[in-house]
Amino acid sequence: MIELVLGGARSGKSKYAEQQAIKSAKQVIYIATAEARDAEMKLRIDRHQQDRPQSWHTVEEPVFLAKVINDHAQQNCCLLVDCLTLWLSNILFDKKGGVQQTIFDNETTALFESLSNFSGQIILVSNELGLGVIAMDKMTRRFVDEAGFLHQKIAALSDKVVLVTAGLPQVLK
């Protein structure tokens, strides 16, 4: 079962996804895509780590998400990926803000293939970015567009899609 959980910043999407993983009654493998590039992000990562049950196995992978999914896909496990938005920024832009088209193309293709062949349980968390105004700069517009395309493709592959707003889950599919 593939479940996509979308929501804005601080919407409760990660908490909801974690509750779903607990309800699975399976061994949870938490796949973290964030990198602590500044002090504030390190604090966010630390808070997420403290909130997770100690029994969960954590795999940190900012780029090669499909490989980690393939390596850990088992019927007795629930994979929880948090979050696709950070992963997207990691594969789309280099550290200087330039586009990494080859890495982006290769990794998104690999992810879609991995999910197309997935037979276990996976919960994918991502930020819904397309509900606001159109960004002023080209780089942000590209990122928001790619996130929207990513969500559409994953939603099509998903068995369940949930939008979380103000901590309230709304089942879309």
Q: Are 169 and 16 spatial neighbours (Cβ–Cβ below 8 Å)? A: yes
Residue 104 — φ and ψ, nearest 5°? Answer: -60, -50
CA distance 65 to 85: 12
For the chain, the maximum distance between any two Cα atoms, rounded to a whole number of angstroms, is 46
pLDDT digits (tens, 9 = 90+) for 21-33: 999 999 999 999 9
Report the relative pairing of strands 57-60 and 2-7 from DSSP bridges. unpaired
CATH number at residue 34: 3.40.50.300
Question: Per-residue pLDDT tens for 62-111?
Answer: 999 999 999 999 889 999 999 999 999 999 999 888 999 999 999 999 99
Question: Is residue 60 a contact partner of residue 103, using CB atoms and an 8 Å limit?
Answer: no
Q: How confident is the model at residue 56 (pLDDT cuts 50, 70, 90)?
A: very high
Write out the two tokens for 11: 């919407």
126-172: per-residue pLDDT in tens?
Answer: 999 988 788 888 899 999 999 999 999 999 999 999 999 999 999 99
Identify the domain containing residue 32 by its residue range.
Answer: 2-171
The mean pLDDT of the chain is 93
Please state whether the predicted TM-score (pTM) of the whole model is above 0.95: no
Give the chain's domain count.
Answer: 1
Residues known to be catalytic:
48
Question: Within a 13 Å sphere around the CA of 32, how many CA atoms are in the beta-carbon half?
Answer: 17
